[in-house]
Structure 1
């Protein structure tokens, strides 16, 4: 299991504000893992559709997944 930090992105001030975490419970990497985590984070941490577009996941998680993906 891996916890991923969820951020609200403020595009005007170029800031990422941590607002919580989501936990990945899948044991195997699948192409839709990241999309599923983002979908869950948007459902939990946003109250309007506009806020949903300001939700982002931790970059460390993204770079780690890309490095482990077979070519």
Structure 2
């Protein structure tokens, strides 16, 4: 399943309960910066520890086939 979750800018209290619920059940999480995302998960006390995959403009074309495979394997 693919989820797209927006994260708060500036104030962690702006995140929705649904976003927190979803973050707690992910196996893999694509993110622009794994360090910042790790900090976000820690601050939000996300018990689940998904695999963090770095995904940003410069690697987008390279990583899309890998991401599609992960999604297809989980159908």
If the length of structure 1 is used for normalisation, what is the TM-score? 0.30
If the length of structure 2 is used for normalisation, what is the TM-score? 0.29
Q: Name the one with the larger helix percent.
A: 2
Q: Name the one with the larger strand percent.
A: 1
